[in-house]
Structure 1
Amino acid sequence: MVHVVTGETLPFSSAWARVDALHTTLTQLVLDGADLTRIADEVSGVLDLGFAVTTSDGRVTASGGTEGAVQRLLEDQGLLDDTGRIRVERGSPEGVELGAGELRVLRIGAGGADLGRLVCVRLDGSIGDDDAHALERVTTVAALVITREQAVAAVEDKYRGDFLRDVFLGRAGEPGFVVEHATSYGWDLTRPVLVVCAELDPAPDEEPVSQTQRRAWQERFSRAWRSVSRDLGPGIPSADFSSEVVTLLPVDPGGSTAPVALVERAVHEVAGDRGGGRRSFSVGVSRVATTQVDLPTAYAQARRAVEIGRKVHGPRSTTYFDQLGIHRLLALVPDGAEIKAFVRDVLGPLADDTEEAADLRATLQVLLDTNFNVAEAARLQFFHYNTMRYRVGKLERLLGPLSRDPHLRLDVSVALRALDVTR
């Protein structure tokens, strides 16, 4: 332990000697295999700071010092969201006044990668230049530890992901072996679960994204799901499948927490307040899988739910397979080309991807929703009654006697829903 007398202004040489001594101590800890918690305890003890290492979006991974007092101060100042994340985007390397004290947030990076944030709080007084120099050294040490931990975790996650993928493909082995192997990863596959498939939403077209950046987002997204899963309870499997994160949330029929509430809690805690660079994502949720045999089907349901949910409801959607309605039946059609052919046969030119076709489809949907009440449809679309009558005539010339044939209206209604999932 490096001892220091706080509250005194040290000579320049003494200050740098203290910084070097701290750096040497921390380097030795890294060589001895110390984790971030040990580093945090050492730094907070030497510099007399409340100290935390967080992900780049503010999720605490290690902390030291007077943790309870620091947390209360951050909460009082509005710097903690309701999931417990620190709002690191409101901090600054130069320091921000925090009550009677000061907050500093420093970026931890290596090789162009954003690895996290160093959050430092002094409850009573400012963080001096000497401490600031020391903290810059600490970010380097933290980057070494995080890089090492991520390298180990990447190998472990690959094996976990490969195993869970084999379970979904039904080729992981006999049930007894699967349970035993899952237990070695700390997972429990003996209980009913909901398969939750989460995907980052595509970046806007105007936002150029490199493959390295995309991978960094995915890794951070996967770590968030694993962290939240650990908080929700023991033995919850969560794995990164490169473009999606799959988590098996347990269902307790006699428990106090409803399955939907558990999903909502998980999604809420992963999303946080979208500060600090968090990306929006969409989620698909399967039916309850009561046994291992049900898992492949449940995974397919979750995949289909997230795919359809994003197309129908847009980004940031959470879609349950049981709530897909007619889309649930469409999801069971194995040949997507057959669905597209049905849409084209029923809608004709209204299936085109043009502004005129989209406008007519909107009018057609309103007419179907109002059971072809022309006056009500005109009011909802802010059209004159005669304009709506003209549109009805145009639609019937294109599609047939919609106002008189209920079976045709059913076909058209299904085709409009099918069009949502074929684009």
Structure 2
Amino acid sequence: MHSDAAELLARIAGGLSRHALALSERLTEQMLQIEPELRGDRRVESLLRASVTGNVVIALHIYELGLDIGELDAPAEALEYARRLAQRGTSIAALLRAYRIGQRLFNDHMLGEITAATNDLDLVTAAVAEMNDRSFAYTDRVSQQVATAYQDERDRWLQNQMAVRTARVRSILSGQRVDPGDSERALGYRLDRTHLGLVVWSDAGVDQLRVAKQVVTTIADQVSCQGQPLLIPADESTLWAWLPQPELEVDPAAVSTPGATWVAAGRTAAGLEGFRLTHRQAIQAQVVAMSAPAPQRASVSCSAQAGPIALMCSDLAATRAWIGEILGSLARDDDATAELRETARVFLDTNGSFQTTAERLVLHRNTVQYRIRKVEAVLGHSLREGRLDVEVALLACRWLGSTVLQSVGD
């Protein structure tokens, strides 16, 4: 360390310490002009001024008193300012940029004091080098500390905020009387419009909720929803979502999702009751999807079919036995029988039209006729007999797969 340079810096810092508040005020105003993101209400800007003052005082004491930078901590005001920015959602980049700006402005002021104090070029050079070394070391140490304070507060704030939002959503879904305006403010989401409810869940290892959020974002873009979706974690792997004002229908089965990630969707519905209804429908669709074995599981959109199937999932053993009674060997779990079941299902769905069934399945009309005759032979009666039971049983087989089918060895 150049002793003359250290002595010069100590003398300058001692003189500036008597005017630290005025210097801090000037630096703060310059920082607000350079970095608009730091502007806020009067309380936030007062915290910035207190933070700048705390850092300026310590920086001057480093030069004046020779403080060990490795033993210094960020001023309490600086940590509180970082926490406040975290609560307000100001980017951490803006906070760190403030420290770089502050360092530059402070050094510029010190440089002016150094050049005014001596004409010795060598001494000026040594003092500036010493100033830069200490200034960088202090800024590096303190910016790390305030960044940690920011991130810790941001995590805590988001967790608390999410807890409040989750509690509010659950109270709405439970049917409790709620103040719509108060709920909208708490959720940041309007309830007086059309909603599309989704449930997205994942078994894809780590970061399951992050994966689920990405899927919701993709769907929101596809249906052109008007606004930001409301996202509520139901647990560590399941996300509830409401998409505002979707312009298009969604087909979850057509949504590209990462492996071991699924989507269940309700139907669009309006208003507060619609908020509840579309979610109930999505939950029903999820129940249906989750009842199928994972390898056969598919994303499901709620429909007139999904509701009854969801009810059947409450007792899968009884459902399996009932399907066996209705379909007999048509409930066997093999590819050939699956083709017969699908042909029969579509045939009933098209009101017994051989031609429409053939077109939908991309088959020859004679192939459809052959399969329907074979189905009726297995059942021992026409498909028109006991049509309702047969149709529901076929739908259950389609949705639930081998969970309700008879293995070939049975």
More helix by share: 2
Structure in which a larger fraction of residues adopt strand: 1
Q: TM-score scaled to structure 1, two decimals?
A: 0.47
Larger radius of gyration: 2
Q: TM-score if structure 2 supplies the norm length?
A: 0.48
